[in-house]
Amino acid sequence: MRGESINGTSEFTEKNLVRQFDDQRMWAPIFVLVAIFIWRIIITVSVNLIPDECSYWAWSRHLDWSYFDNSGMVAYLIRLSTEFFGRSTPFTVRFPFLLISIIFTILIYLTGTRLSGSWKVGLLSALFFNLTPISLLGGSSAVHDNPLLMFWSMSLWSMSKFIGTENHKYFYVAGLSSGLAILSKYTGALLLPFILLWLLSSNRYRSALSRKEPWIGALIATLFVLPILWWNFTHDWASFKHILFIGTGYSGVCRKISDGLGYQLAQIITISPLFFISVVASIFVAIAAELRKSDDSKALLLCFGFPLFLFSVMSFRGHAEANWGVMGYVSTGILTVMIFTDRDNPISRLFPSYSSLRKFAIAGASVSVLMVIIVVLHAWIGLLPASVERTLAKNDRIIWETRGWNGLGKYLVTVMAEGDVLASDSYQNCALLEFNVPGQPSVRYLSPWDRPTQFDVWNRSYDDLKGKNILFVSSKPLEPSSSVLMTIYENFARVEQIPAYDVMYHGESIRKIYIYRGHDFNPFEPRRLGPRSLFYSGL
């Protein structure tokens, strides 16, 4: 019977869910969203910058049309904020991204409300994404993904408005937000083909392609690509070459399979297990429904969620980072809430009452929050023995990226001599040192190997360092060159070892940061160092 579920409980429809939610927990999602924002403020203020954030902060000190690793929105936002506040601290670096998390949440709410016809579903959609581990831990981080998510959501919102109004001027908004998404991260370029895919799949809206607005919108988006193209043109297309290199992965079949499976596991961790299962199930249900009867709203959400499929496939063919497809969860999160609150699909049979669905949602959120609590506790107090941490080393990124850098910066001030040039053999270390050493001095990237970095864009030659004393900081000991290891040891007249800095964990040293003063640096003898090519060797 339509008015009664299989166990005699009241009818479970989206409308009834909204009514019960309004009666029982009207303010709960709003309260949780406010709590999440307060949590982000705490992280923004109290947690030191991780290596990636330090790298993008370093970019902001050298404004450019684009950068070696990616487009430059993250650097522009950081520079705007640090100039406004007049200093560089974790709070001032992350402040724009804290605001972005609010705008992003509002856009998900508006899109979910527009496509479902219910503001309660819109609110639950906003809550869904904000409760994922990646959002709870990185929602205010100064990284590319956050502005990308905001502009990706803005494009999705503009297309949802087009569905509701058939006002073709929303294609201009979509073009603008797509262009800004590309300026935020290269994967933003996927927006235009996904919008085109949706229009081609829609019987109702396919005719929009015969009008000028979609194409003008695409032209607007293309204008934002010009700075990226100009930078690459003036730097021998190095950035595009870099992207191709990191996406190639390993050639062995077994390694490709393990990388692909690792990527899938990373997605489960990124979104949390129950949320991930819900998203995957909703995608299959929506696709099956689309094959029977077209629904432009759900088709739009599926097209915007296509990165999940794209990078899942790519992970078995080449390298794919866990966060590359994260923008796909924006639309599929909305889709999941819509599917789970609609009786006319197979998933509703698993939850014959509002109470059963509510329990599942709470369980999913609890698992996600528990995962975050474990990460936070591990970063704060350390959940593993020091002996295990010494073995894991860089493989435990939580401890590696959060422990020791601020203390190292303060220690270096005590050992630096007048005239010393600070340098390291890792671009992450260079950025970490620039941010954490008091006074935030410039740090040179100094290594004998060929892999280029953004620091090579700024200083491709070492010639200006001739005769200088270098305070060299590395995670590895500086040793004389051998048949298996090339170093810069011989390029100094004399190498003075300075007491290493110990990274402490549970009262024990788990790793050392090695420090040397190299006297009278000679970039020409016995081996010429630099200028380094911006291309990877062999490409």
Domain ranges of the chain: 14-377, 399-519
- CA separation, residue 3 to residues 7, 12, 16, 106 (Å): 12, 8, 11, 34
Provide the token pair at 531.
Answer: 């200028």
Q: What value, to the nearest 5°, has the Cα angle with vertex 193 and ends 275 and 170? A: 90
Q: Which residues pair with 513 in a beta bridge?
A: 501
Query: What 8-state DSSP symbol labels residue 4?
Result: B
Strands 494-505 and 508-519: antiparallel
327 vs 187: CA distance, rounded Å: 9
Alpha-carbon distance of 500 to 454, in angstroms, equals 27
Question: In b/e form, how buried is each residue of 506-537, taking b as 16+ CB within 10 angstroms?
Answer: eeeebbbbbbbbbeebbbeeeeebbebebebe
CB atoms under 10 Å from CB of 30, counted, come to 13
- The pairing of beta strand 470-474 with beta strand 508-519: antiparallel
Residue with tokens 């070492």: 462
**pLDDT number for residue 2:** 35
Do the Cβ atoms of 301 and 194 come closer than 8 Å?
Answer: no
Query: Read out DSSP for 363-375?
Result: HHHHHHHHHHHHH
Spatial distance between the Cα atoms of 299 and 305, rounded to a whole number of angstroms: 10
Give me the pLDDT at residue 12, please.
41
Q: What is the pLDDT of residue 342?
A: 83
pLDDT < 70 positions in the chain: 1-26, 246-251, 537-539
Largest Cα–Cα separation, the chain: 89
**Residue 27, pLDDT score:** 82
Residue that has been written with the tokens 């100009």 in this structure: 230
Q: Are 133 and 371 in contact (CB under 8 A)?
A: yes
The residues that bridge with 474 in the sheet, in sequence order, are 514
The three-class DSSP label of residue 490 is: helix
Nearest-angstrom CA–CA distance, 400 and 393: 7
Residue 32 one-letter amino acid: V
Question: At 115, which amino acid appears?
Answer: L
Note the helical H segments in 252-353.
253-271, 273-292, 296-304, 306-314, 328-340
pLDDT of residue 249: 58
